[in-house]
Amino acid sequence: MKTNINRAYLIIFIFLAALLPQTVYGSTVDVIKIDGIINPVAADFIGQAIKQASNDSAECLVIELDTPGGLVESTRLIIKDMLASDVPVVVYVTPSGARAASAGTFITIASHIAAMTPGTHIGAAHPVTLQGGDDEKSTMFKKLENDMAAYIKSMATQRGRNAEWAEKAVRESVSITAEEALKNNIIDLICKGTKELLEKINGRKVIIKENEKTLNTAGASINRIEMSFQQKFFNIISDPNIAYILFLVGLVGIYFELQSPGLIFPGIAGVISLILAFFGMQTLPINYAGLALIIFGIFLFIIELYVPSYGLLTTGGVISFVLGSMMLIDTPYPFLRISLGVIIPVALAIAAIFFFVVGAVIRAHRAPVKTGYEGLIGEHGTADTDILEHGKISVHGEIWDAESDEQIKKGDEIEVTGSAGSERMVLKVRKKS
């Protein structure tokens, strides 16, 4: 009888232990942060996070968003992954002062649950072509505008949000605060932090692939997912300013290798920098006139080393370099352009490198040889013996065989004029005048 009671207790204990992780630890919520331009790296990161949240059996994936906008194709990839997700995707515009502009508006409206922090704003989704061809009268622009308006309306309708305002965000570039977005049914709630967000969405019902799911996020543990090292690296070099610097480092490195063949390191560093720069610029509209001005500016720096222009060529090079850098990325998006605060210091640094460093190398190449017999030409010494035709002299503390066409007495000062022997071991001298 006692054995049966012990077995009953054991079964009850095992049953309670099986429930313990869910009752004590609760559910899990995966959280990622997107702070910057929506680019291919951001799209890849969000796609992987959605897959990981599904593998983790997370209640939902929270995307803490702060973006000025980004690329249309990257935005479409993100929305595709969100619509195909097995877990609810919650977009939370945070912290205070953050924005979900342009591409961020599309991503927020496409989410299963949209939330914002007080002091944030959303909108300004008017399409602008990367090349700056935003002529509203052009047929191509109208097609782009109509396509994006229909795209955002379909997502707003699917999520039960204000499709009329969503269309205005595209066609009229309207932008509203978090409070106005809640009032106009653009977002679902306003909260002051991620923990408050999880408390407020607890018990909400969302549709996942035509199936209803009730969120259980109260007291959920938060699992923050970070970008991999590879994603962080490629995200950094995708910044237009970083790509621009890498491009210039590549040009300078290759020039040094061509100027002094055999150094190897400048050539390798230059090629790697150029490849990374091209990767970073692959989605950016490069203006070839700007690129030509940059190369012409570097050409003027090089010419300054050979042609004394009293700084005129250097000045022209700096002006050409700055103008070319400003024109290099031709887009109306401010966040995709190269900052003037980067262009001017880099232009001055490049000018200094060519003026001082490269100039020093060229001057060293042009300097007279200071070793061997060539370094003795023009030097003065004394005759150690009488020199009728042959004799010995002392130059720089060294004893050399010497020949002279004139008679030189022992102790006379002499001047080296060249080499008298075929093997250049006998110096040609004359009496110092």
pLDDT in tens, 363-406: 665 555 555 556 677 788 888 888 877 888 888 778 888 888 78
Q: Which amino acid, 143?
A: K
State percent of the chain over pLDDT 90: 36
Q: How far apart are CA 99 and CA 196, in angstroms?
A: 19
Q: Where do we find the tokens 């900052």?
A: 339
* Exposure string over 210-228, b if 16+ CB within 10 A, otherwise e: eeebebbbeebeeeebebe
Position 211 scores a pLDDT of 87
Report, as ranges of residue numbers, the positions in the chain whose pLDDT lies below 70.
1-26, 128-138, 140-141, 283, 305, 310-311, 331-335, 357-375, 420-424
Q: Which residues contact 311 (CB under 8 A, 6 or more apart)?
A: 304
Residue 105 structure tokens: 């508006």
Position 133 scores a pLDDT of 45
SS3 297: helix
To the query of whether residue 102 is one of the catalytic residues in this protein, the response is yes
Element (H, E) at 165: helix 163-171
SS3 432: coil
Q: How far apart are CA 186 and CA 113, in angstroms?
A: 10
Q: How far apart are CA 271 and CA 273, in angstroms?
A: 5
Phi/psi of residue 67, each to 5°? -145, 140
CB atoms under 10 Å from CB of 333, counted, come to 19
Q: Where do we find the tokens 């942060």?
A: 33
Position 25 scores a pLDDT of 47
Catalytic residue, candidates 27, 74, 85, 102: 102
The answer to whether 56 and 249 are in contact (CB under 8 A) is no
The answer to whether 240 and 280 are in contact (CB under 8 A) is yes
Position 5 scores a pLDDT of 54
Which residues of 256-338 form beta strands (DSSP E)?
Answer: none
For domain 22-230, give the CATH number: 3.90.226.10
Q: Crossing angle, helix 240-259 and helix 229-237, to 10 degrees?
A: 80
SS3 43: helix
pLDDT (tens digit, 9 = 90+) per residue, 158-208? 999 999 999 999 988 899 999 999 999 999 999 999 999 999 999 999 989
Domain boundaries, the chain: 22-230, 239-366, 373-431
The answer to whether 324 and 292 are in contact (CB under 8 A) is yes
Position 21 scores a pLDDT of 44
CA 22 to chain centre: 43
User: What region does 126 belong to: left with phi over 0, alpha with psi -120 to 50, or beta?
Assistant: beta
Position 13 scores a pLDDT of 55
Q: Are β-strands 390-395 and 413-419 bridged in parallel, bridged antiparallel, or unpaired? A: unpaired
Catalytic residue, candidates 80, 143, 183, 409: 143
The answer to whether 132 and 332 are in contact (CB under 8 A) is yes
CATH topology for 373-431? Answer: OB fold (Dihydrolipoamide Acetyltransferase, E2P) (2.40.50)
Q: How far apart are CA 38 and CA 335, in angstroms?
A: 11
Position 24 scores a pLDDT of 40
Element (H, E) at 49: helix 40-55
* Exposure string over 93-109, b if 16+ CB within 10 A, otherwise e: bbeeebbbbbbbbbbbb
| 373-431 has the same fold as 22-230 | no
To the query of whether residue 143 is one of the catalytic residues in this protein, the response is yes
